[in-house]
Amino acid sequence: MDSQAFATVFERMKSQIASVVVGQEDLVEGLLVATIARGHVLLEGAPGLGKTLLARAFALTTGTTFKRIQFTPDLMPSDITGSSIFDRDKGAFSFVPGPIFAQIVLADEINRAPAKTQSALLEAMADGSVSADGVSRKLPAPFLVVATQNPIESQGTYPLPEAQLDRFLVKLLVENPTRDVEARIVRAHADGFDPTNLNHITPVVDASTLVEMSQVAEQVRVDDAVVGYMVDLVRRTRDDRTIELGASPRASIALLRSARVVAAAEGRDFVTPDDVKRQAKAILRHRVMLHPDAELQGIRADNRIDEILRTAPVPRVA
Amino acid sequence: MKRRFLAPVLGPLALVAVLGTAAHSFAETPEESAAFAEAAAPFCSNPPKPLKDDQRNLCGYASQLPNCAAFQEACTQPIAAPPDLSWLAPLGVVARFVLYALAGVLVIGVFYIIFVAIRKVVNDRNPSETPAKSGVKVVPLVEDAAAPAPLPADGAVALLARADALLARADALLARGEAALALSHYLAASLRSLDEKGFLRIARSQTNGEYLRAIRDFEFRGAVAPMVRAVDRAEFGSVAASAEEVAAFGATARALVMSPRRAVTAPSPFAAALPAAALALLLLGCGGENKKQGSPSGSEYFQSLTSRQGLTVTPLSHPLAALPDPRSKDAAAVMLNAEETPLDDETDHALSAWVANGGHLLLSGHSSSWPKELAKAMAASKTSPLEVAADALAKTVGKKIPPPKTGEVPPHDTLLLDGRDLRLATGIADDEEEYEDEDESTRESGEPAEEASRIRGFTAYSYGSVRPGIPLVRRGDGKIAASLVSVGTGTVVTLDEADLFTNAALAYPRNPTIALTLLRVAAGKGTPSVAADGIVRYSTYRTIERARRHDGRQGASDPLSALLAAGLRLPLIHAAIFAAILFFAYGRRMGRAEPDRLDSRRAFAEHVEANGLLWAKRKFGPLALATWARFAEERLRARMPKSATDPAHYLALETGQDPTFIADIWKRATEQSPTERARGDEIAILKTLAPLLDRLDSAPRRTLS
């Protein structure tokens, strides 16, 4: 597969998902980029904006296995990873895989589970494997966690620790649809669209194609000047006086991986600063921690990232 | 015997005759009565309420004018009490304290500046701190397109250069065989051109893709898109475009630069609202005068009087302190109300000199308000009282005027007053039979009353006399009110009152005669002429220019004299001394020619430098070094070619320093945390690295390859 074929497949996947999830093209693209870049996605948005639908449509389009985990305060780590139970016939313990053993895992309302349960995802997200009963078990490839969280509810929630946040490649914001888009959604439902029945979606690619696309993206050329630009952006988050904790080098690497996929999706075999800039907010917004004073002043992480993008010089020859 | 008999008889008869004549002269004629019976003047019927001070001064006339009840009523209203500002008194203490505090801060600031300046001068004498001259030729960012485009060092071009200069440079690069660099310059020229045309805004943080998306014009975007792809491919994909492709892009760029099209931008709502608001304020009048109201102290009657008589009265065309040569042919007589137009000393001096050189001045207002130097000159000069030919006036009252012929010069000059119309007329007929052969219609057209402006008067002034030779312009108390004074070769007609030319004073039919007489004496009697309407008009020999309130103060012909006039002589001297000190401390250095810098970054650089100096002074070494290091790294990375990744190595290479040494101190600088405890070497490192970056900033960029 070359970059042109990559772009064609990417566009087909995007179109198919966007036909189901109306008016969320940027969200769909972010999800695809993160998947191909072997990253995980944190979706933040109010209930009822189609987050679950997006994940399911994505799984069907990519021909991958899909599991959904509803995070609750009493959810235990073993409810995610699975556990060994005694098989009376065999007279021995056998491992029953949990819902984490799927290629697309939707962790719904992830911030409702306690930190202990959330951390059960850490190993899976970082290493693509799960350790249970002293045995490490490999997760199927590709493996993508799509976690959702509600920004407006704080009671009974457990904020994700920074270490876990850093493991999400991107944090995508699910915005309310515009009036026209909402009208289209309602029209579709009026015409019989059933979000629980997505059988009409046929896979555009299979899991192996996704893996191959990841490999193609990794071959995309990145110039030193572009690397320098990525690093500059990330370093500026550490120097910003309104940011308590800046992004880690993992953010620079995330920028690199995402920008490569974006470049390949446009049929290029090289990354431009434009690719980096387009992915910067999704990659950096959950990796920076604002000063309390700045938060009290109503400053958001996106504001500071916008400012960084506005002031950081772009590498160019002339 | 006969004489002795006649004397007791003729004496009382003469007295009776004199008194009778006097009585006639002060009696209200039927025409005057008719004038009084007319509708009230605006200032009588609708005076402003409350009256201003100058209007209230004319209240003495209100009771003597008929149909002026509203004016009288306005005069009886009590003067509005000034607003009670006693509640502000406690604020005085606060204000005084604030004033002292401000003065203290100002003094401290001045001394601090002096201290810094002196220390700077001392430091400048220390040769060890003199920065080394780079000796590097600087390529200006904005070049003259007409001049031959010099080939720059690679990468020295910024998007801040002019589009045509960039285009010329790109052509030169292509001719030299550097197609890749030429391609970048063609794109830069195109983007710059679109910036100049208003299609996008150039910024260092914008990517080529963002520029492309910013272009709303379909045609231009279509032209630029392939160029952007080619440049990105060359710069970041290492796939160079062929010379033919670059040449084609060159043609595209040239077409873009030459295109006359500009972006049409709708004005912002704010920009559109401003003129609308201004227009609304204009239409509202912003508190302008009520046109329906008439002011007793206004000059509408005066303007009507002079225009009807053919006199040219205009506002003063020059300041009183700079009147033109009075001996010139078109020199005007000047009309000055000393109460309304106070004069400063310089203007007083200049006006006295102007009069002495032949100027003609009509000076009104109470004598205590007259300009001191001019009054002194008048006191030492010959004074004669002014007279008006009252007998002739008395004779003409109520008589018909023979119709003069157009173009005819009247035989003699007489003031005519009929109570309704006041004008200068001539050809008074002693006998109506002389005009029997005149055409009836022509005779009627000569009736002044039919086209007259309605001028009224006031009896505070009297004219007419029982005996010739007695000054006629007198006030109600009988004192002489007007005189003619010769000062040098000029004349001053004085009137010891300021009210004569106001509406209230001119409302009485007799007073306009006095006003006209004074004007004609001051400005010289001109040649009478007969207009087409048959009315004889007596223009004055000179035009008359009337001084306004502000003409007595010498205008600020230059800022220095304005400051001196404002009493700022001593502060000016202080300011000059401070300016000299500052110049020798800073200005001398700034006066030297310096290489151009990136304008867009200079303010930030100065800000960083100033902050760094402040922190260094406050012993915040770690903070100063950490901040500077971030700034320096950003500057260096902005300059570095794409093949370079190590700022320290680049800095050492560009400045000719030992790379190992620079790498060590650069590492120390960039690892510095603002919150870390001071190690003591921060400022030393800062002082070592900062001059190197300064040298680099003034040099053109080069690639390492």
Tell me the chain B residues in contact with residue A227 when contact means C-beta distances shorter than 8 Å: 645
Nearest residue in A to B210, CA atom = A274
Say how far apart CA B38 and CA B70 lie, in whole Å: 15
B350 and B446 share one domain:
yes
Predicted local confidence at residue B27, as pLDDT: 46
Instruction: Please identify which residue in the block is written with the tokens 């690679």.
Output: B154
Kind of pairing, strands B382-385 and B414-417? unpaired
Task: For residues B78-88, give the mean pLDDT.
Answer: 73
Residue A190 placed within a domain: no
B419 and B440 share one domain:
yes
**Higher pLDDT, residue B634 or B265:** B634
Residues B92-111 have pLDDT tens digits of: 778 778 888 888 888 888 88
* CATH code of the domain containing B225: 1.20.120
Say how far apart CA B163 and CA B192 lie, in whole Å: 5
Inter-chain touch A270–B185, beta carbons under 8 Å:
no
Inter-chain touch B643–A309, beta carbons under 8 Å:
no
Does residue A239 belong to the interface with chain B, where contact is any CB pair within 8 Å? yes
Predicted local confidence at residue B436, as pLDDT: 37
Does residue A3 belong to the interface with chain B, where contact is any CB pair within 8 Å? no
Predicted local confidence at residue B295, as pLDDT: 81
Residue A204 placed within a domain: no
Predicted local confidence at residue A59, as pLDDT: 86
Say how far apart CA B316 and CA B551 lie, in whole Å: 8
Which helix or strand (DSSP H or E) is residue B385 part of?
strand B382-385
B649 and B674 share one domain:
yes
**Domain stops at, among B129, B153, B176:** B129
A124 and A227 share one domain:
no
Do residues B19 and B11 make contact, with C-beta atoms less than 8 angstroms apart? no
> Min CA distance, B614 vs chain A (Å)?
18
Task: For residues B593-597, give the mean pLDDT.
Answer: 48
Residue B489 placed within a domain: yes
Q: Which residues of B touch A (CB under 8 A)?
A: 155, 157-159, 166, 180-181, 184-185, 187-188, 203-210, 232-233, 235-239, 630, 634, 637-638, 640, 642-645
Predicted local confidence at residue B48, as pLDDT: 81
Residue A6 placed within a domain: no
A141 and A237 share one domain:
no
Predicted local confidence at residue B469, as pLDDT: 36
What are the helix (H) ranges across A240-272? 249-265
Query: Could you tell me which of B494, B511, B514 has the C-alpha nearest to residue B364?
Result: B494
Predicted local confidence at residue B381, as pLDDT: 73
Strand partners, A85: A94
Inter-chain touch B634–A316, beta carbons under 8 Å:
no
Inter-chain touch A224–B159, beta carbons under 8 Å:
no
Do residues B293 and B42 make contact, with C-beta atoms less than 8 angstroms apart? yes
Say how far apart CA A272 and CA B236 lie, in whole Å: 6
Task: For residues A2-26, give the mean pLDDT.
Answer: 87
**Domain stops at, among A153, A175, A197:** A175
Predicted local confidence at residue A229, as pLDDT: 93
Say how far apart CA A214 and CA A260 lie, in whole Å: 10
> Min CA distance, A233 vs chain B (Å)?
11
Predicted local confidence at residue B421, as pLDDT: 38
Indicate the residue of A225, A274, A313 with minimum beta-carbon distance to B642. Answer: A225
Does residue A228 belong to the interface with chain B, where contact is any CB pair within 8 Å? yes
Strand partners, A243: A290
Task: For residues B667-683, give the mean pLDDT.
Answer: 83
Does B143 have pLDDT greater than 50?
no
Which range marks the domain in which residue A268 is found?
A: 220-311
A158 and A38 share one domain:
yes
Residue B274 placed within a domain: no
B407 and B328 share one domain:
yes
Least confident of B46-60, B381-395, B685-699: B381-395
**Higher pLDDT, residue A108 or B464:** A108
Query: Which among A260, A271, A272, A275 is the top mutation candidate for probing chain B, defined by the most B β-carbons within 10 Å of its own β-carbon?
Result: A272
Question: What is the ipTM for the molecules in this complex?
Answer: 0.82
B334 and B483 share one domain:
yes
Query: Could you tell me which of B419, B412, B413 has the C-alpha nearest to residue B397?
Result: B419
Residues A145-192 have pLDDT tens digits of: 998 887 765 566 777 877 778 889 999 988 888 898 889 888 888 888
**Higher pLDDT, residue A186 or B405:** A186
> Min CA distance, B205 vs chain A (Å)?
4
Does residue A274 belong to the interface with chain B, where contact is any CB pair within 8 Å? yes
Predicted local confidence at residue B265, as pLDDT: 60
B586 and B528 share one domain:
no
Nearest residue in B to A232, CA atom = B634
> Min CA distance, B252 vs chain A (Å)?
17
B124 and B196 share one domain:
no
Residues B610-658 have pLDDT tens digits of: 777 777 677 778 888 888 888 888 888 887 776 678 888 888 888 888 8
Q: What percent of chain B has pLDDT over 90?
A: 1
Nearest residue in B to A306, CA atom = B205
Predicted local confidence at residue A154, as pLDDT: 58
* CATH code of the domain containing A38: 3.40.50.300
Indicate the residue of A232, A274, A313 with minimum beta-carbon distance to B210. Answer: A274
B245 and B313 share one domain:
no
Inter-chain touch B204–A315, beta carbons under 8 Å:
no
Query: Residue B526: what are its φ and ψ, rounded to 5°?
Result: -90, 175
Predicted local confidence at residue A235, as pLDDT: 93
Does residue A123 belong to the interface with chain B, where contact is any CB pair within 8 Å? no
Least confident of B171-175, B343-347, B458-462, B571-575: B458-462
Out of A180-194, B44-58, B112-126, B301-315, the most confident range is A180-194
Distance of CA B505 to the CA centre of its chain: 35
A161 and A26 share one domain:
yes
The pLDDT-based confidence of B198 (bands split at 50, 70, 90) is: confident
DSSP secondary structure code for residue B542 in this structure: S
A100 and A47 share one domain:
yes
Tell me the chain A residues in contact with residue B201 when contact means C-beta distances shorter than 8 Å: none
Tell me the chain B residues in contact with residue A307 when contact means C-beta distances shorter than 8 Å: none
Residue A9 placed within a domain: no
Residue B383 placed within a domain: yes
Task: For residues B21-31, give the mean pLDDT.
Answer: 46
Does B169 have pLDDT greater than 50?
yes
Does A65 have pLDDT greater than 70?
yes
Does residue A299 belong to the interface with chain B, where contact is any CB pair within 8 Å? no
Total domain count, chain A? 2
Residue A5 placed within a domain: no
B332 and B460 share one domain:
yes
Task: For residues B276-288, give the mean pLDDT.
Answer: 60
The 3-state secondary structure of B5-37 reads: HHHHHHHHHHHHHHHHHHHHHHCCCHHHHHHHC
Residue B96 placed within a domain: yes
Inter-chain touch A312–B205, beta carbons under 8 Å:
yes
Residues B427-460 have pLDDT tens digits of: 333 333 333 333 333 333 333 322 222 333 332 2
Distance of CA B261 to the CA centre of its chain: 38
A277 and A164 share one domain:
no
A158 and A71 share one domain:
yes
Predicted local confidence at residue B383, as pLDDT: 64
A170 and A307 share one domain:
no
**Higher pLDDT, residue B27 or B101:** B101
Inter-chain touch B233–A270, beta carbons under 8 Å:
yes
**Higher pLDDT, residue B672 or B398:** B672
Say how far apart CA A201 and CA A198 lie, in whole Å: 6
Predicted local confidence at residue A198, as pLDDT: 80
Indicate the residue of B206, B237, B644 with minimum beta-carbon distance to A269. Answer: B237
Distance of CA B490 to the CA centre of its chain: 34
SS3 B334: strand
A87 and A149 share one domain:
yes
The pLDDT-based confidence of B87 (bands split at 50, 70, 90) is: confident
Nearest residue in B to A266, CA atom = B229
A32 and A127 share one domain:
yes
Inter-chain touch A317–B645, beta carbons under 8 Å:
no
Least confident of A229-233, A234-238, B136-140, B191-195: B136-140
Residue B109 placed within a domain: yes
Predicted local confidence at residue B526, as pLDDT: 64
A147 and A40 share one domain:
yes
Do residues A202 and A223 make contact, with C-beta atoms less than 8 angstroms apart? no
Predicted local confidence at residue B531, as pLDDT: 56
Residues A25-56 have pLDDT tens digits of: 888 999 899 989 988 999 888 888 888 888 88
Instruction: Give the CA angle between residues A140, A144, A148 to the nearest 5°.
Output: 140
Does B340 have pLDDT greater than 80?
yes
Inter-chain touch A318–B188, beta carbons under 8 Å:
yes
E-strand stretches of B206-277: none
* CATH code of the domain containing A292: 1.10.8.80
> Min CA distance, A235 vs chain B (Å)?
10
Inter-chain touch A228–B159, beta carbons under 8 Å:
no
**Domain stops at, among A141, A175, A209:** A175
**Domain stops at, among A159, A175, A191:** A175
Residue A215 placed within a domain: no
Do residues B169 and B146 make contact, with C-beta atoms less than 8 angstroms apart? no
B538 and B564 share one domain:
no
Predicted local confidence at residue B10, as pLDDT: 52
Residue B65 placed within a domain: no
Q: Quick one: tokens of B338? A: 């000393």
Least confident of A75-79, A310-314, B531-535: B531-535
Query: Could you tell me which of A141, A145, A62, A57 has the C-alpha nearest to residue A105?
Result: A145
The 3-state secondary structure of B196-223 reads: HCCCCCCCCCCCHHHHHHHCCCHHHHHH
Residues B499-527 have pLDDT tens digits of: 888 888 777 666 676 777 778 778 876 66
Does B404 have pLDDT greater than 80?
no
One-letter amino acid for residue B279 of the chain: L
The pLDDT-based confidence of A256 (bands split at 50, 70, 90) is: very high
The pLDDT-based confidence of A114 (bands split at 50, 70, 90) is: confident
Query: Could you tell me which of B162, B181, B163 has the C-alpha nearest to residue B172?
Result: B181
Do residues B514 and B463 make contact, with C-beta atoms less than 8 angstroms apart? yes
The pLDDT-based confidence of A208 (bands split at 50, 70, 90) is: confident
Tell me the chain B residues in contact with residue A273 when contact means C-beta distances shorter than 8 Å: 207-208, 236
Which range marks the domain in which residue B198 is found?
A: 163-258
Total domain count, chain B? 5
Least confident of B182-196, B327-341, B451-465: B451-465
Does A258 have pLDDT greater than 90?
yes
Inter-chain touch A317–B210, beta carbons under 8 Å:
no
Does B409 have pLDDT greater than 70?
no
Burial B187-221 (b: 16+ CB within 10 A, else e): bbbbbbbbbebebbebebebbbbbbbeebebeebb
Predicted local confidence at residue B532, as pLDDT: 55
Task: For residues B607-611, give the mean pLDDT.
Answer: 70
Q: What share of chain B is helix, strand, coil (3-state, %, to 5)?
A: 50, 10, 40
Number of Cβ pairs < 8 A linking chain A and chain B: 85
Least confident of A178-192, B135-149, B166-180, B560-574: B135-149
A142 and A226 share one domain:
no
Average pLDDT, whole number, for chain A? 87
